[in-house]
Amino acid sequence: MEYLIDYGLFLAKTATIVFAIILILGAIASAGQRQRKDGKKGSLKITELNSHYEDIRDDLRQEVLSKEEYKQLQKQEKKAEKAERKAEKQAVKQADSDAELAVERKPRTYVLNFKGNIGADAVASLREEITAVLSLAEISDSVMLRLESPGGMVHAYGLASSQLVRIKNQQIPLTICVDKVAASGGYMMACLADKLVAAPFSIIGSIGVLIQMPNFHRILKKNDVDFEMISAGEYKRTLSTFGEVTQKGRDKAQEDVESIHQIFKTWVKDYRPSIDIDKIATGETWLGTQAKERYMVDEIKTSDECILEACKTSDVFEVEYEFKKSLQEKLGNAASAVVDSLYNRFIAEPNNDKYQ
């Protein structure tokens, strides 16, 4: 009898697991269908940074100041806000046209973010953000890009740079802030700024081009393994992982690298004519302060300082475009986050302790 009870419990557990799996698969399929029906690829996330920083300041004042001091400040601020709103209403009444209204409003600063990898994948969001901003921005407004990138593939960063050219073509002032690194393709983007700002210890430069790959031809030859590659065109493949590297192929690859490097140098010189391109286009990198001495950046400060300064005179909005993620992607990201957490907890953190 006890055996039958255990067996029944086992069947119940199995049925529950199977039912849960079916529900999950159904949810995944349903989510995929809903996503296909909805034509939107994603959505804009807008954050008003003026209010964000005011809230932070207010939280601190509430804790630090006495109740009397805090109440007095609140009264003064409310009085100033009331006067400002009254002035705005009067300006609206006196305005005779939409053009005059446009002149009266405060300028807006749109803050974008670009965190680059080898493939410059963030360009997918960047192009949507720029399209949205340019549909509304006027010459009195400005764009601020917080840029972080060690560089990557030429064509990917060429596209990312071309997106920033769209801002310049519409004559919207562009400030680019580098807090950590803008190297190689990252600097290709950064040099487009009307004002390029870098933190003191940020990494700037690496104006160079690199091709590298392992070659296993000698290993294959040693083990009597043939590698066949059929191509049309003399230089269709100059270097490959398994084929023999000939001097002719090596020379052609070097020629291509030199050609791309020259185009890169011309690009940087066109947008930052004050620099001595031959001295900085060596593939070297410099700290922000060193880069300023070479006229590679305009000012030494962090993006936080730039945003706080903008908040004094402008309405500042952070604009982020978020692509829709399927349930599969969400589950994958969750699993990846768990793996990263375990790695940091049991591998990275113990190793870091050695250097403290």
Query: How do residues 168-186 score in pLDDT, each as one tens digit?
Result: 999 999 999 999 999 999 9
pLDDT in tens, the chain (356 residues): 555 555 556 656 666 776 667 766 666 666 555 555 556 789 999 999 999 998 888 888 888 888 888 788 878 877 777 776 666 667 666 655 555 544 468 899 999 999 999 999 999 999 999 999 999 999 999 999 999 999 999 999 999 999 999 999 999 999 999 999 999 999 999 999 999 999 999 999 999 998 888 988 889 888 989 888 888 888 888 888 888 888 998 999 899 999 999 999 999 999 999 999 999 999 999 999 999 999 999 999 999 999 999 999 999 999 999 998 766 666 665 665 665 565 556 554 555 454 34
321-325: long-range contacts, CB 8 A cutoff, minimum separation 24: 321/42, 321/43, 321/44, 321/45, 321/125, 321/126, 321/128, 321/129, 321/132, 322/42, 322/43, 322/44, 322/45, 322/125, 323/41, 323/42, 323/124, 323/125, 324/35, 324/38, 324/40, 324/41, 324/42, 324/43
Active-site residue flag, 236 = yes
The Cα–Cα gap between 177 and 175 comes to: 7
CB atoms within 10 A of CB 241: 10
CATH code that applies to domain 107-206+284-341: 3.90.226.10
* Helical ranges in 40-172 per DSSP H: 49-64, 67-94, 98-104, 123-134, 154-169
What confidence tens digit (pLDDT) does each residue in 87-105 have? 666 766 665 555 554 446 8
The predicted-structure confidence for 274-321, as pLDDT tens digits, reads as follows 999 999 999 999 999 999 999 999 999 999 999 999 999 999 999 999
Is residue 202 annotated as a catalytic residue, yes or no?
no
Catalytic site residue from 184, 202, 206, 303:
184
**Three-state DSSP state, 256:** helix
Packed helices 327-343 and 2-37: angle between N→C axes, nearest 10 degrees: 110
Q: Could you tell me which residues are beta bridge partners of residue 100?
A: none
Catalytic residue among 37, 40, 93, 236: 236
pLDDT on residue 77: 73
Q: Where are the domains of the chain?
A: 51-88, 107-206+284-341, 209-270
The pTM of the full predicted model, rounded to 2 decimals, is 0.76
> What pLDDT is stored for residue 236 in this prediction?
84
State both tokens at 211: 């091709």
Q: Say what the pLDDT of residue 58 is.
A: 84
Please state, in angstroms and rounded to a whole number, the distance separating the CA atoms of residues 302 and 137.
Answer: 24
Q: What is the pLDDT of residue 356?
A: 45
